[in-house]
């Protein structure tokens, strides 16, 4: 199936190039290309005169306000503009960020940050994609369109001091576009390997202080998974694997700069195969929300922000033995007051609350597809928080950020999350950051398991980052981090979990960017874990196929990322119409755990992945754009470590898309 679409897509793209009028080649204008970026004054209008003169790239989630990356009290990466167009999904975008690793599990992908899987908080419009039922089902694949995303802000390191529970190893903030960024209607379609089809619509309107953005997307795909195997004669042959379906709608309405209402409706069906425990299954997990925000500047040195949201999360997973049905509603609100009462200080005071209604969540234990009993009761929880942060500008080159947050959960003990950050610019182009922070997350499904002895998971992080930046030509960053982990939850046997003791992870991250000319840029980054997490062993009791005997097996933990990752690539533009990108990713070997289900032992071999992007822009009076995206272009054979077996990686994928603006 991999090569089924490859040749037609390439031929179609070449044919489109041949029909482009020759006059296009002579229309290129000399001089500087307009990027459409805002001026310094516009970008920092909400930060007073404190940071004027800094670089144009800003981030809002490091301290809750827009500020330059070099001054933000965190290890920060921002993906925006043309760079964001290179990616088809969120998981693709995160995969090239230092510290991140995307791995395949039996059911779906797992994304690691600094050695911890599914440990960071994903947000959109201030709404967290997490709750007391699930912290790992945030949209990361085809179920999330990047067309209406303006930029992706990423901080590596604890973020609970500002964002509360689940901002454990980092925060990923999806900043959505405004209607004025589109000013019209854009339709696009994509076809590719694995029977993939995507259709998207994006429309924007801005007039008389009213700003409206609408986005709709629909996708189908076979993905790269194999047909589910038949386990034994007691169960029917599951047949050919069905196609996955994804649908999403997003809308945002703004009035001037004071009122914003936005919402997202999402739903997908992901058909998969899982060895031994499931012969066929279906996962249906919409993650939807509606939020409203009121923002008001009070006087000349203070600002008030009030927000509230309603969020729904649903999922249904089928297997031979279990049916897990989740229907979770979450209600949240926040009030934040920023003020500059004291010279060179910017202070933030905030309060927030969340109510989590999991009264419809349950797991049904089955025998021959007939329910026997409910293993998990319903639950209802709430959490209240208060936080304080102060940013103090000691000199033009030295700033200190300090803050603390207290969260009180109805089921767990109160948690205090402090943070400290020092940012020092010296020798004009050098910058040093010293960072400290603590974060927590509530154990997923802990209430449902009725284990009152579980505690919140905690992380304590120490970081030092040294950076060098010369204009927009050269940027270098070296980061060292040391994370102390406590009370991580592990599954020791089927349906039984416990808190582990102490653990630690430490590592190095390096990134470089070089732009010798306006049409050429080079980038590279590397991540190395000096010390990875320690593994653990879980015990399971499995019934024989005829249910006459019980087999006890031991499985080593397989949720460990590779110790070293390398990414590098090149961006090249020519003739003002073509932009190309070649990206390389190298993953070091990983040791396979002790697992009787595995058909192999030893190590997973290291592998190199090569991706390619080609964009053809500014056609038909800047209305038409075409792209060709190739993944794993050399069809590298690679694997990942699942819980029950070694999982095959995706083969070569080629995707062609057309985009037209009215």
What CATH number did the domain enclosing 492 receive? 2.40.170.20
pLDDT at 34 over 50: no
Phi-psi region of 473 (alpha: psi -120 to 50; beta: other; left: phi over 0): alpha
The 10s digit of each residue's pLDDT in 178-202 is 999 999 999 999 999 989 999 999 9
H/E run at residue 42: helix 40-43
Give the chain's length: 662
H/E run at residue 433: strand 430-441
pLDDT band, very low/low/confident/very high, at 425 (cuts 50, 70, 90): very high
pLDDT at 21: 37
Distance CA 389, CA 395 (A): 19
Distance CA 347, CA 500 (A): 37
Number of domains in the chain: 1
DSSP, residue by residue, 210-277: EEEEEEEEEEEE--SPPPPPP--TTS----SPPPEEEEEEEEEEEETTTEEEEEEEEEEEEEEEETTT
The answer to the question of residue 287 being in a domain is yes
Provide the residue range defining the domain that includes 488.
6-661
The 10s digit of each residue's pLDDT in 482-522 is 999 998 887 766 556 777 778 899 999 999 999 999 999 99
The answer to the question of residue 135 being in a domain is yes
Number of Cβ within a 10 Å radius of residue 483: 24
The answer to the question of residue 607 being in a domain is yes
pLDDT at 244 over 60: yes
pLDDT at 18: 40
Work out whether the CA dihedral 125, 130, 135, 139 comes out positive or negative. negative
Q: What percent of the chain has pLDDT over 70?
A: 77
The answer to the question of residue 344 being in a domain is yes
pLDDT at 590: 85
The 10s digit of each residue's pLDDT in 387-406 is 999 999 999 899 999 999 99
The 10s digit of each residue's pLDDT in 335-391 is 999 998 888 899 999 999 999 988 777 666 665 566 665 656 667 889 999 999 999
Residue 427, Cα to own-chain centre: how many angstroms? Answer: 35
The answer to the question of residue 1 being in a domain is no
Contact indicator for 308, 332 with CB cutoff of 8 Å: yes
Angle at 255 between CA 249 and CA 259, to 5 degrees: 85
Phi-psi region of 344 (alpha: psi -120 to 50; beta: other; left: phi over 0): left
Phi-psi region of 142 (alpha: psi -120 to 50; beta: other; left: phi over 0): alpha
More confident residue, 298 or 275: 298
Distance CA 474, CA 286 (A): 42
The answer to the question of residue 334 being in a domain is yes
The 10s digit of each residue's pLDDT in 436-460 is 999 998 887 655 555 567 888 999 9
Contact indicator for 152, 83 with CB cutoff of 8 Å: no
Instruction: Please report, to the nearest 10 degrees, the dihedral formed by the alpha carbons of residues 126, 60, 565, 656 taken in order.
Output: 70
pLDDT at 327: 82
DSSP, residue by residue, 535-556: P-EEEEEEE-TTSS-EEEEEEE
pLDDT at 49: 31
Distance CA 627, CA 188 (A): 11
Tell which residue, 444, 484, 376, 452, has the closest CA to residue 165. Answer: 444
Stretch 32-50: mean pLDDT: 36
The 10s digit of each residue's pLDDT in 526-548 is 999 998 777 666 666 666 555 56
Angle at 376 between CA 110 and CA 550, to 5 degrees: 80
Stretch 45-66: mean pLDDT: 59
Distance CA 227, CA 95 (A): 27
Stretch 597-614: mean pLDDT: 85
Stretch 584-603: mean pLDDT: 79
The answer to the question of residue 575 being in a domain is yes
pLDDT at 597 over 70: no
pLDDT at 222: 85
Stretch 559-570: mean pLDDT: 90
Contact indicator for 70, 53 with CB cutoff of 8 Å: no
pLDDT band, very low/low/confident/very high, at 5 (cuts 50, 70, 90): very low
Work out whether the CA dihedral 4, 5, 6, 9 comes out positive or negative. positive
Q: What percent of the chain has pLDDT over 90?
A: 51
Distance CA 513, CA 268 (A): 37
SS3 424: strand
Contact indicator for 538, 492 with CB cutoff of 8 Å: yes
The answer to the question of residue 485 being in a domain is yes
Write phi, then psi, for 560 (nearest 5 degrees): -130, 130
Work out whether the CA dihedral 24, 25, 26, 27 comes out positive or negative. positive
Burial (Cβ within 10 Å: 0-12, 13-18, ≥19) of residue 393 = middle
Tell which residue, 106, 494, 124, has the closest CA to residue 276. Answer: 106
pTM of the model: 0.87
More confident residue, 47 or 110: 110
Mean pLDDT over the full length of the chain: 82
pLDDT at 543: 61
More confident residue, 83 or 223: 83
Number of Cβ within a 10 Å radius of residue 366: 15
């Amino acid at each position: 199936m991999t090569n089924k679409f490859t040749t037609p897509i390439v031929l179609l793209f070449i044919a489109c190039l041949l029909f482009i009028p020759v006059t296009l080649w002579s229309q290129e204008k000399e001089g500087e290309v307009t990027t459409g970026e805002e001026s310094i004054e516009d970008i920092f209008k909400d930060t007073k005169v404190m940071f004027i003169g800094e670089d144009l790239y800003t981030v809002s989630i490091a301290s809750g306000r827009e500020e330059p990356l070099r001054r933000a009290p965190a290890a920060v990466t921002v993906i925006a503009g043309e760079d964001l167009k290179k990616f088809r999904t969120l998981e693709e975008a995160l995969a090239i960020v230092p510290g991140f690793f995307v791995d395949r599990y039996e059911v779906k992908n797992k994304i690691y940050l600094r050695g911890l899987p599914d440990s960071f908080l994903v947000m959109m419009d201030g709404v967290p994609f997490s709750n007391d039922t699930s912290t790992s089902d945030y949209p990361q694949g085809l179920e999330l369109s990047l067309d209406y995303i303006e930029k992706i802000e990423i901080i590596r390191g604890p973020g609970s001091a500002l964002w509360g529970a689940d901002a454990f190893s980092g925060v990923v903030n999806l900043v959505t576009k405004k209607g004025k960024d589109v000013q019209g209607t854009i339709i696009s379609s994509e076809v590719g390997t694995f029977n993939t089809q995507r259709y998207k619509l994006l429309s924007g309107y801005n007039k008389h202080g009213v700003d409206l953005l609408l986005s709709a997307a629909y996708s189908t795909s076979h993905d790269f998974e194999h047909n589910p195997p038949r386990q034994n004669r007691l169960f029917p042959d599951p047949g050919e694997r069905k196609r996955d379906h994804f649908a999403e709608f997003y809308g945002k309405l703004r009035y001037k700069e004071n009122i914003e209402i936005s919402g997202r409706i999402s739903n997908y069906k992901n058909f998969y195969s899982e060895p031994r425990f499931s012969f066929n299954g279906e996962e249906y997990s919409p993650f939807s929300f509606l939020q409203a925000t009121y923002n008001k500047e009070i006087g000349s040195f203070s600002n008030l922000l009030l927000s509230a949201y309603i969020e729904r999360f649903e999922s249904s997973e089928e297997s031979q033995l279990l049916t897990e049905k989740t229907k979770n509603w979450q209600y949240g609100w926040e009030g934040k007051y920023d003020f500059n009462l004291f010279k060179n200080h910017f202070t933030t005071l905030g309060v927030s609350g969340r109510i989590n209604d999991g009264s419809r969540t349950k797991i049904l234990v089955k025998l021959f597809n007939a329910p026997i009993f409910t293993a998990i009761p319903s639950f209802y929880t709430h959490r209240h928080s208060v936080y304080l942060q102060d940013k103090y500008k000691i000199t033009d080159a030295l700033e200190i950020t300090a803050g603390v947050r207290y969260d009180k959960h109805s089921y767990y003990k109160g948690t205090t999350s402090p943070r400290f950050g020092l940012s020092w610019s010296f020798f004009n182009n050098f910058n040093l950051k010293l960072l400290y922070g603590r974060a927590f997350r509530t154990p997923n499904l802990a209430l449902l398991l009725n284990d009152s002895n579980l505690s919140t998971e905690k992380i304590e992080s120490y970081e030092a980052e040294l950076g060098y930046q010369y204009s927009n030509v050269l940027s270098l960053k070296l980061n060292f981090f040391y994370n102390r982990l406590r009370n991580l939850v592990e599954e020791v046997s089927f349906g039984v979990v416990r808190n582990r003791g102490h653990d630690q992870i430490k590592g190095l991250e390096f990134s470089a960017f070089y732009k010798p000319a306006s049409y050429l840029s080079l980038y590279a980054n590397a991540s190395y874990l000096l010390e990875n997490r320690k593994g653990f062993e879980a015990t399971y009791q499995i019934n024989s196929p005829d249910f006459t005997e019980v087999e006890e097996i031991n499985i080593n933990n397989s949720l460990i990322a590779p110790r070293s990752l390398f990414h590098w690539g090149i961006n090249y533009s020519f003739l003002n119409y073509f932009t190309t990108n070649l990206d390389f990713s190298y993953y070091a070997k990983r040791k396979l755990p002790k697992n009787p289900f595995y058909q192999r032992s030893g190590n997973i071999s290291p592998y190199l992945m090569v991706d390619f992007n080609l964009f053809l822009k500014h056609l038909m009076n800047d209305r038409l754009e075409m792209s060709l995206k190739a993944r794993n272009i050399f069809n590298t054979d690679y694997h990942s470590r699942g819980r029950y077996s070694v999982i095959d990686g995706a083969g070569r994928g080629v995707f062609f898309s057309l985009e037209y603006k009215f």
